Amino acid sequence: DASDHQNPSVISRVHTLPENSGSSSLHPAEDVASSLMSHLETLYQEVELFEELLHSGNLTPEEQQQVTFPFLNRP
């Protein structure tokens, strides 16, 4: 039946939700919070590294602009 295959993106999204993963004993909200904290820690590390590079003078003006204004460089 063709109707079963019309929307694969919806099916794949449903299977990636934390509630359906079964891999975590955490409440879904706690799972999301934990994931966000992990991403924030990574972001802070990247910002610290960027600041070190910026202050050490190891970035060209072009590189500085790319990192400082990434939204301007999107297609």
Q: Estimate to the nearest angstrom the gap between the alpha carbon of 75 and the chain centroid.
A: 19
pLDDT in tens, 34-74: 999 999 999 999 888 888 887 888 778 887 777 666 656 55
Q: In the chain, where are the structural domains located?
A: 2-73
- Beta-carbon neighbour count of residue 28 at 10 Å? 13
pTM: 0.42
CB of 50 closer than 8 Å to CB of 67: yes
Write the DSSP symbol of residue 57.
T
